[in-house]
Amino acid sequence: MSSTILLADDVNMFLELQKGFLKHTSARVLTARDGAEAFHAISSEHPQLVFMDLHMPKMDGAACCAKVKEDPSLRSTPIVMITSAGKEDDRLACRQAGCDGFLTKPIDRGAFLDKARSFIPTLDRREPRIPCRTRGKFRLYGITLSAEVHNVSRNGCYMAADYDVEAGATVDVVFALPGAQGIAIQARGQVAWTNRGMAKKPDAPAGFGVEFTTVTEESRIALDRFITACTG
């Protein structure tokens, strides 16, 4: 059964941005434009997670959060408040309202998904991951290293390499798709997770998953064609 996530913000641009972050997951996404609408949605839909902007009309995010936490039937609903960076007074207001976490604008896709999965560990991806054994390289901390790409999607890849890479690190990756006639996929991304050491999954080689943040237009087209051809 898919999880329900509520996004509350009075600015459409931010709602669409967050909806885009979740489009490759199985989550059912609801939206609200103000605190009163958000409280109604929480009361009636009982979402498993809420991302709520602090500054909204009718009822601001802190007031809505406090109202939820005061209700015995709703108080277990995790609420992540979204504030402007550097405004400690805003964070204090959210903390006093009883929120379960913070994010700051501009919202980073990786941080958003990491926060979502901290409350909903089963939050998965809908996008297909295609097995893809091909040599590649990645640049990290000014050093270029070799790896083998084991699978790829439109928004990321898994690189098999037994290096000490930290989750959250920014990497530049380059690799060729099988049968792509020499087209090199070039992307910048963030290390989303690592697979090595004591926590290594036995069914996968040591390495790390990369979530793309920037992909060249030529690479995007090539990835789309490759994945479409593999998935029919």
Give the DSSP letter string of 74-121: TTTS-EEEEEETT-HHHHHHHHHHT-SEEEEESPPHHHHHHHHHHH-T
Checking if the pLDDT of 105 tops 90, the result is no
- Domains in the chain, start-ordered, CATH in brackets? 4-119 (3.40.50.2300), 130-231 (2.40.10.220)
Work out the pLDDT band at 1, boundaries 50, 70, 90: low
Q: Which residues of 68-91 are buried (b: 16+ CB within 10 A; e: fewer)?
A: bbeeeeeeebbbbbbbeeeeeebb
pLDDT score at 32: 97
pLDDT score at 199: 65
pLDDT score at 182: 64
Q: Please give the torsion angle defined by the CA atoms of residues 55, 15, 1 and 42, in that order, rounded to the nearest 10 degrees.
A: 30
Query: If we measure between CA atoms, which residue out of 93, 107, 98 comes closest to residue 78?
Result: 98
pLDDT in tens, 112-166: 888 998 898 777 666 678 888 899 999 998 999 999 999 998 888 999 998 888 8
The dihedrals phi and psi of 29, each to the nearest 5 degrees, come to -110, 125
Determine the average pLDDT of the residues in 20-46.
92
Work out the pLDDT band at 172, boundaries 50, 70, 90: very high
Cβ–Cβ under 8 Å, residues 154 and 213 = no
